[in-house]
Structure formats: structure tokens, C-alpha cells
A = this chain, B = another copy of it.
Amino acid sequence: MKEYIQQNKERFFEELFSLLRIPSVSAKAEHKPDMYACAGRLCELLLEAGADSASLWETAGHPVVFGQKTMDPEFKTVLVYGHYDVQPPEPLEKWRTDPFEPVIAPDATGRDAIWGRGANDDKGQLFMHIKAFEYLVRTGQLKHNVKFIFEGEEEIGSPSLPAWIKAHKKMLAADICLVSDTTMISEKVPSINCGMRGLSYLEVKVVGPNKDLHSGHYGGAVANPIQVLCEMISTLIGPDGRVTVPGFYDKVVELSRADRRMLARAPFDLKEYKEFLDIDAVRGEKGYTTLERTGIRPCLDVCGIWGGYTGEGAKTVLPSEAHAKISMRLVPNQRSSEITRLFARHFKAIAPKCVKVEVTPCEGGDGFLIPISSSAYKAASRAMSEVYGIEPVPARGGGSIAVLAEVQKILGIDPLLMGFGLERDTIHSPNESYLLKQFFNGMESIALFYKYW
């Protein structure tokens, strides 16, 4: 496929950029028209690439794109999953280029990359699948049936997709669910994810007095909801780095020594890691390594906090309310719905009498594991070995793709996570980018996967 990429890459960029220019931010209602525009553009791209059909399906939320090409009922069927929605681009002032005006430019190491929101996550990665498919179709090498499902709600926890999948089980029948929406350990150490964490995401609100107060007239006598929220949050993680919500760890599977040894084979340099993030020390659950903390252990993070006066200068106010967004990453056997319930109960229980507390669940999904002994995993491994010159390492991803656990349950097929992102891509952050080299290597690896499976 190398040659095909060289001959067509300018067209590839143009097509991908047409997707990246659409601000398909699923979290914000104002972007509803953009979701339809992006889904529509994906249908066009699928048809141009050689799909028999491609169409937009309504759901309770943002539309799903479904396309397919049937070669022969006897062939194995690949279901490609991706998502066309993106994270909000904020904070905008930290972007060096417009998040929705993609460009190709060198990064700090001098290598060309695509810059823009979604360059990697997941428009750039799902686009590789469309192009590998196009290549196989146009060169007459496609020996599989292929189905594509691109959703518009991954970044908000895929609230509508499970019901849609249940309603279209027959149409979606396949042998494997192929996904590029994750990272590799490093450029030099390709890896294939064999598990992902689940997620429970909630918003909390602490209400003190029924109006903002003058901090001079009331300060010292009336509980400050920001102070109380800080106190409550500070107790959510204990001195041992463990989440203090009662029952949080009850279902967590402790890995065997052998399993932990296998994971420890993945190369990791703590000094480089700290330098990359410009931090003097890491912090996490006692008794686990950094890779274990993000791979096999659950955690709790405050993703956002706000309350009182946050503008320029000094305003002396004792505010009425304080808010926070809290995410918990879960590991297999922890159920998202149960953890959400446990958290809500605990957070209300620890509220002092001087405030009122509200807890609103936002999204969630379970974690999952993938067997590395399957023929599909082996084909992916062989494909990536050929492109990278090294056998990929099986790894556990810290992120969450909420819907894949559902795919596994409803369709009875395993996901296969061939992700080509890198830590440097800073997805979900300002200046998201995707190295051209990974973009091209990804397409090649995907095309070879079809060859070897």
C-alpha cells in the first residue's frame, strides 16, 4: 500500500481535512447541525471508497453512520468501529493554530504532523480504515466483507449506540470489531491494546447560602461552599492513593504476579515520562507502577471545578455554589452503573450539615479485556511487525471506549484495538496532532491485517 499512499496522499489530506473542519463537538447542543454535516460527509467518503451502501441513521442522540461492502457471504466479516465526534477544543487560547482549520506542519522534533481537533481522535484514525479499504477495493485484493459503524457520541459516553446496536444486531453481524482509537506505547514500541478501562463521570454541586454573600459581612460565620467542596474532594483519595468511596475496590480483579510481570515487559522510562510532562514527581496508588496505575488499576480525577468569582482582579464574595466534574476510570468487573451509585451515595453521606449537595451522573461505560490468543490478534500482530520491524507488545490502555464492552456483550464479538496514536498527540488537549508517519503506518498495517487474517 506504500506506493498507493504516495500517489494519493494529497487527496487523502484534502478528504481528511474536510472532516476536521467540521466542529463536531458532541458535548455541546449548539453543534447539532455539525454532527449531521460530519456524518453526511462520512457517507460520501465511504461510497467514494467503494462501499455498496452508506447511510445516516437517526438515534436518540447524534446520528450513526453505517456503510458496508459484501464480497461473499462465505468470507469473514470485519466490523470497523470509529467515532466522528470530538472533544471540546477549550481552552482555545492555548492552541497555536485554529482547532478546526487543520494544517500540516512540523512538530518540535521537525517531523510533519496533522494539527487540529480530531487529527488523531478519532477522525484521523477512522480515516485510515476508509483508505485501507479503498486500496483493497481498487486493487482487487479485498477478501472480506466489511461493515463500518461510525458514531457521534463516543466523547460523551455513547448513550445512544447500545440501543441502536441491539435494534440492528443482524445487520451488524461480524466476526471481529476492528478499532483504531487508542495509542501505542511509543513509535519504537508498537503495541496492541488488550484491555481498556471503564468510566463513571459525574457532576457535583455544593450549595451553601441561597445567594452570593459579601465575604466581609458573612466570612467566618457561614460555611463557604468552595471550601466545603474542597474538603469533600480532598477526602476522596486517601494518603495511600486509593479511592475512599466504600465498595469501590470490591470487584476489582487483582492481577497475578505472572500477569504483572508480563505487563512490566513494556518499556517505560520514568525520567523521560516526568520530563515529557515537566513534573518533579508522579503520584498514584501505593504498591503499583505508573503503567499499572493507568492500565490495571481504577482511579478518580477531578476534570473540572468552578465557583465564585473567576474573572480579572479581586472580588470579595462568599459564593452560593461550587461545582466539580469528577471522572472515575474503572477496570474489568467494576460496573460503571454500580460505581456511579456508590459514589453518589458516598458524596452525599460526607456532606456537612451546613451545605446541600447534588450529584448528577453524566456518562459511563464498563471496561473490558480482549484475548490475545485469537487469530485476529495474531494477524494484527503480524501486520504491525511487518510495518514496524518489531513485534508489538500487548498492553492495557488507560482510556475508555464505553461502547466496546457493549459491542462485546450484544454482538458476541471481540474488539481488536489497533491504535496508532502516540502520547505526543495530546488528544483531548490543545494542539492535538497526528504524525504523518503514524498515519501512513496505520493505513499499511490495516491493509496487511486484511491480508493476514
CA–CA, A208 and B429, complex, Å: 14
Residues of A280-304 whose CB lies within 8 A of B: 280-285, 290-291, 293-294, 297-304
Q: Choose from B224, B234, B279, B329 the contact partner of A302 (Cβ within 8 Å).
A: B224
Q: For A313, what are the chain B residues with a Cβ–Cβ distance below 8 Å? A: 26-28, 88, 156, 362
A220 at the interface (CB under 8 A from B): yes
Residue pair A215, B304 in contact (C-beta under 8 Å): no
Residue pair B318, A301 in contact (C-beta under 8 Å): yes
Residue pair A234, B230 in contact (C-beta under 8 Å): yes
Residue pair A278, B209 in contact (C-beta under 8 Å): yes
Residue pair B428, A317 in contact (C-beta under 8 Å): yes
Task: Mark interface residues in A217-256 (1 if CB within 8 Å of B CB, else 0).
Answer: 1111111101101110111110000000000000000000
Residue pair A219, B301 in contact (C-beta under 8 Å): yes
A75 at the interface (CB under 8 A from B): no
Task: Mark interface residues in A303-323 (1 if CB within 8 Å of B CB, else 0).
Answer: 111111111111111110011
Q: For A91, what are the chain B residues with a Cβ–Cβ distance below 8 Å? A: 212
A394 at the interface (CB under 8 A from B): no
CA–CA, A310 and B204, complex, Å: 12
Q: For A398, what are the chain B residues with a Cβ–Cβ distance below 8 Å? A: 214, 216-220
Task: Tell me, rounded to whole Å, the shortest Cβ–Cβ distance linking A396 to chain B.
Answer: 11
Taking residues whose C-beta sits less than 8 angstroms from the other chain, chain A's interface range is: 35 or more
Query: Across the two chains, which residue of chain B brings its CB closest to A201?
Result: B314
A352 at the interface (CB under 8 A from B): yes
Query: Across the two chains, which residue of chain B brings its CB closest to A237?
Result: B227
Known contacts A214-B427, A314-B157, A428-B317, A219 near B277 by CB under 8 Å: no
Residue pair B299, A426 in contact (C-beta under 8 Å): no
A29 at the interface (CB under 8 A from B): yes
Residue pair B311, A27 in contact (C-beta under 8 Å): yes
Query: Across the two chains, which residue of chain B brings its CB closest to A26?
Result: B313
A327 at the interface (CB under 8 A from B): yes
A125 at the interface (CB under 8 A from B): no
A340 at the interface (CB under 8 A from B): no
Q: For A155, what are the chain B residues with a Cβ–Cβ distance below 8 Å? A: 314-315
Residue pair B304, A221 in contact (C-beta under 8 Å): no
The winner among A211, A218, A224 for most chain B CB atoms within 10 A is A218
CA–CA, A370 and B277, complex, Å: 54
Residue pair B215, A303 in contact (C-beta under 8 Å): yes
Known contacts A223-B283, A227-B302, A363 near B314 by CB under 8 Å: yes
Query: Across the two chains, which residue of chain B brings its CB closest to A218?
Result: B294
Q: For A214, what are the chain B residues with a Cβ–Cβ distance below 8 Å? A: 398-399, 427-429
A191 at the interface (CB under 8 A from B): no
A163 at the interface (CB under 8 A from B): no
A197 at the interface (CB under 8 A from B): yes
Residue pair A208, B279 in contact (C-beta under 8 Å): yes
Residue pair B314, A219 in contact (C-beta under 8 Å): no
CA–CA, A221 and B300, complex, Å: 10
Task: Tell me, rounded to whole Å, the shortest Cβ–Cβ distance linking A187 to chain B.
Answer: 16
Residue pair A220, B299 in contact (C-beta under 8 Å): yes
Task: Mark interface residues in A163-187 (1 if CB within 8 Å of B CB, else 0).
Answer: 0000000000000000000010000
A87 at the interface (CB under 8 A from B): yes
CA–CA, A355 and B237, complex, Å: 17
Taking A199-B216, A279-B355, A305-B322 as known contacts, 9 extra A-B pairs with beta carbons closer than 8 A to each other, sorted by chain A number, are A157-B314, A197-B216, A208-B279, A211-B430, A212-B426, A220-B329, A231-B234, A234-B234, A303-B317
6 smallest beta-carbon distances between A and B, as pairs: A220-B299, A216-B399, A27-B313, A304-B308, A210-B278, A234-B234
Pairs A–B under 8 Å by Cβ, sample size 14: A94-B212, A208-B279, A213-B428, A215-B428, A216-B400, A220-B293, A220-B298, A221-B282, A226-B302, A227-B236, A227-B301, A231-B234, A281-B354, A315-B428
